[in-house]
Structure 1
């Protein structure tokens, strides 16, 4: 069996294989690929019938997907995912906890403001705890480095993503990082992003359904050979798939309203980490100069 068709041996290899072969898959298999990436614990633990029902496909399509990735069977794929989840057991029950939370919320479904607040707090706590396990430390480090190395940072995010993108642009500007906030005022999104170059970085924040303006901004950045840092709800979204680095966020959904707490927390962590990095870099020359002066005096 060639290396291209070799079955992934770990969950990380499976994730890489899906991302690598995603564009070559049919739309139906892409639908399954997204479900596997977004809900690995469900894929690992549920039957094919349940997985098919939740992902909107026939069980036979799941078998075809597994074989397209290199496995002999769907059960072989499930075992690889299950082994990976056991190694990172803190994330194992997240989807199940979310389902239990939704069921409990529907059962009590109080209409008092205090009840609504309690539901949002509980749902966001679940999402925030999952964020800590979901984001890889190396990816977080890489995100900070991308910002530090960029000559100019362009920030884009429309509709539901707008509060996050505007906060991110504001915070970077407060840190004296050269930043362009692509807000599309007057329909000028294309003009605002047009000057991006290979030494620049585009940070996009985008969730389903993905704004056309954000997708176009990502395409422009890539065409201009700029780096792209994508914050999205799926690793195979039209903004995350072509990105230099993609960070996936799973937000809480309460009473059909999706929160932004986890996304805002992630963005704040990135910005504050960049601020620490900048402060440390600025402190080094001062320490070097002070040491040299002391040597001269002595």
Structure 2
């Protein structure tokens, strides 16, 4: 059985199974169709409770649909938050065809991103994030792929400011999530179309009642409704490439604000 590669294909697979499903599987099917995009941020336990089934029934239903488990279904819905971006080979082709000065375009885009961040950033969300992080025993920072540069820079700043901090970089595929304990807080940095590793790490922290601050570039972000604060700064695009000017500025803003608050 092939695995559905789109939400439309998933819904078609559910309808193909029809009303002849066993009662518990039918409950799972009805909830999956009704929940829609909420599945991107719904845990297995929450799904099971809403469908009035056991978590094991949710897993069995996902396997019946052709998935390895529920997390694979979630990835399908998370991908729907923003279309997948072109491969780098395609972007390089567009870059060659564009002509003009790349440096000039990137500089103008950086200026526009920084100016846009003044309007995009919600001061109340920033204040809430600073309050949560200032009280944390240890701040954990997680950001993969493009977000790693922001995570590393923020960790460097916290370290220099004397703020206890741990960078979760998944080197050698090691998961340091167990190091996050009660009293700590997590900064999860992920930009659309989002890193599954970061989203999974943030969800694991939320499941253990660890406060999470999300750092992203779109308000249509998974887990946004469950986070203590969502810091959103979009970046301007140049020939399908996005910089990090606004994100790095916000990273410095957050680190300095938290450092100052902890001194108080």
Residue 220 of structure 2 is aligned to residue 236 of structure 1 = yes
Equivalent position of 1:254 in the other structure: 238
Corresponding residue SS for 2:179: coil
Partners of 1:254 and 1:200 lie apart in 2 by: 38
**Correspondence 1:131 to 2:117:** yes
Q: C-alpha deviations, 1:217-242, integer Å up to 9, x for none?
A: 10111111100000112233224343
Alignment correspondent of 1:271: 255
SS in 1 for 2:212: strand
TM-score (norm 2): 0.61
The alignment yields a C-alpha RMSD, in angstroms, of 2.4
* Alignment: residue pair count: 176
Pair 110,182 (structure 1): closer, same or farther in 2 beyond 3 Å = same
TM-score normalised per structure 1: 0.55
Partner Cα distance (1:232, 1:183) in 2: 17
Cα distance, 1:255 vs. partner? Answer: 1.2
Q: Distance in 1 between matches of 2:249 and 2:104?
A: 19
Alpha-carbon spacing, 1:155–1:27, altered in 2? closer, same or farther (3 Å): closer
Q: Deviations over 1:23-65 (max 9, x none)?
A: 966349x9xxxxxxxxxxxxxxxxxxxxxxxxxxxxxxxxxxx
How is 1:197-208 mapped onto 2 (pairs within 5 angstroms)?
197-208=181-192
Q: CA deviation at 1:207?
A: 1.1
- Equivalent residues in 2 for 1:42-121, closer than 5 Å: 109-111=98-100, 115-121=101-107
Cα distance in 1, alignment partners of residues 209 and 243 from structure 2: 33
Where relative contact order (Cα < 8 A, 6+ residues apart) is larger, the structure is: 2
Counterparts in 2 of 1:24 and 1:198: CA distance versus 1, 3 Å? farther
- In 1, the alpha carbon distance for the partners of 2:238 and 2:130 equals 31
The answer for the alignment partner of 2:204 in structure 1 is 220
2:180 is the alignment partner of 1:196: yes
Paired position in structure 2 for 1:93: none
Structure 2: distance between partners of 1:234 and 1:198: 29
Contact 2:163 2:259 (C-alpha < 8 Å) held by counterparts: no
Question: Partner of 2:231: helix, strand, or coil?
Answer: strand
Task: Report the 3-state secondary structure (helix = DSSP H, G, I; strand = E; otherwise coil) of the residue aligned with 1:250.
Answer: coil
Query: By percentage of residues, which structure has more helix?
Result: 1
- For structure 1, the residue ranges without an aligned partner over 5 or more in a row are 1-22, 31-105, 282-298
1:26 aligns with 2:36: yes
Alignment partner of 1:176 out of 147, 157, 162: 162
Structure 1 pair 118–142 and aligned structure 2 pair: CA distance change class (3 A): same
Distance apart, 1:205 and its partner CA: 0.7
Structure 1 residues 136-151: aligned runs within 5 Å: 136-151=122-137
Q: Structure 1 residues 274, 140: CA separation in 2 closer, same or farther (over 3 Å shift)?
A: same
Query: Would the aligned equivalents of 1:231 and 1:240 in 2 still touch at CA under 8 Å?
Result: no
Q: Is the partner of 2:222 in helix, strand or coil?
A: coil
Larger Rg: 1
8 Å CA contact 1:232–1:248 kept in 2: the answer is: yes
